[in-house]
Every structure is written in structure tokens, then in C-alpha cells.
Structure 1
Amino acid sequence: MLIKLSPQRRDETLQVIKAGEVLIVNGENFDFSPIGEGDTLPALAISSSWFLDKVERIDGELAITLFLPLPWNYSQEQAFPLPLQNVPDGPVYFPQPLPVDHIAELGQVEIAE
């Protein structure tokens, strides 16, 4: 499975678990096993605001695009995420935000006298 990420400024949390060709997105199951080779499922046919683009199967692999919520302390890895390739079963790990203490350090400016 290939999961592409589209960053969007949101304060919501995205939790995804992969189980074969099923994605559990924030507790809701989405079974993509019926999608055959070369088939496309439009994003509008998926009852979730987390799917940005069509879901399709290319060369036997499902390709999915999800919105990636960006918190106020987002990192460069979140702002410019790489596609997640060969995603294994289990929790899907996304790029993480900057630690809050790192943001505080960046905000401190010393003024020379």
C-alpha cells in the first residue's frame, strides 16, 4: 500500500491502522479489497473527510491520499511529507511535530547590550 499525504492546517488528530487492505481511520473501517487492478474509487464515494483523492490499484498496489493534519508546531517533515511506501499492517506512523520546548527555544532572542 502506498499512502500519499497532503498537509493541511488542522487541530484534529489522525490515527490510522492498516489491516491488509482495510484502513481504520480514527476508528472507522474502510475496506479497499474490492478495488481491482486498474479500478478507481473517487474520493467523493468515500464517506470521510480524510481522503483527498481517488483510491486506485496500480500494479497490484493500492494508492491512497490522506490529509495530514498540521498542528501549530508542525515540522518540515509534516509540511513536506514523503509518501509512505510498503506500509505494513499495524499503526501507521506519520511525521511528528516539533517538540513544544524546541519552539520555546526558537522564540528566545538574546539582545546584546
Structure 2
Amino acid sequence: MRINLSPQSRDFGIEVVRSGETLTINGEAFDFSPMADGDTLPAAAIDSIWFAGPVEKRDGELELTLFLPLPTNFSPEQAFPQPLLSVPDGIVIFPAPLPPEVEETVSKEGV
């Protein structure tokens, strides 16, 4: 499975789990096992806000594009993501954000 990522500002995150040709996105399962080689399923035919393009099956491999929510501390890897290739079963690992900034507190004694 190949997952392309399309970064987008969103107020909520995404969790994806792969099990064969089924993707579970934030608890909702999408089963693409009925697709035959050469099939294309348009994004408009998928009842989900997460698919940014069609799902295609070529040479026995699914290829799709998901929106990748960007947090305020997004990293360059999230802003310009590389495709996820040969995605194994289990939790899909997305590019990580930058560490949160730590606010420094200044203690003023004797003021």
C-alpha cells in the first residue's frame, strides 16, 4: 500500500490502522478488498473527509491520498511529506511535528 499525504490545517488529528486492504481512520473502517487490479474509486464515492483523491489498485497494490492534519508546531516533514511506501499492517506512522516550545518563566525576586 502506498499512502500519499496532502497537508491541511485542521483542528483535529488522524489515526489510521491498516489491516490488509482495510484502513480504519479514526475508528471508521474502509474496506478496499473488492477492488480489482486497474480499478479506480473516486474520492467523491468515499463517504469520508480524509480522502484527498481517488483510491487506485495497480499491480496488486493500493494507492491513495489522505489529508494530513497540520498542528501549529508542524515540521518540514509534515508540510512537505514524502509518500508512505509499503505501509505494513498496524498503526500507520505519519511524520512527527516539531517539539512544543517551552515557555521560559522568569522569576523576579525582591520586586
Q: Same fold (TM over 0.5)?
A: yes
Bigger share in helix: 1
- Residue 29 of structure 1 is matched in structure 2 by 29
CA offset digits 1:13-60 (Å, max 9, x no partner): 100000000000000000000111100000001000000100000111
For 2:50, the aligned partner's letter is W
SS in 2 for 1:44: helix
- Residue 87 of structure 2 is matched in structure 1 by 87
Runs of 4+ aligned structure 1 residues displaced above 2 Å come to: none
For 1:5, the aligned partner's letter is L
- Residue 98 of structure 1 is matched in structure 2 by 98
- Residue 3 of structure 1 is matched in structure 2 by 3
Give the TM-score taking structure 2 as reference length.
0.90
For 2:15, the aligned partner's letter is Q
Q: How big is the alpha-carbon RMSD for the aligned residues of Structure 1 and Structure 2?
A: 1.3
Number of residue-to-residue matches in the alignment: 104
For 1:25, the aligned partner's letter is I
Q: Which runs of 5+ in 2 are unaligned?
A: 105-111
- Residue 58 of structure 2 is matched in structure 1 by 58
SS in 2 for 1:69: strand
Q: 1:101 Cα shift?
A: 2.8
- Residue 69 of structure 1 is matched in structure 2 by 69
Q: Which runs of 5+ in 1 are unaligned?
A: 106-113
Q: Please say which structure displays the higher CA radius of gyration.
A: 2
- What is the distance in 2 between the residues matched to 1:74 and 1:22? 28
Give the TM-score taking structure 1 as reference length.
0.88
Residue identity (%)? 62
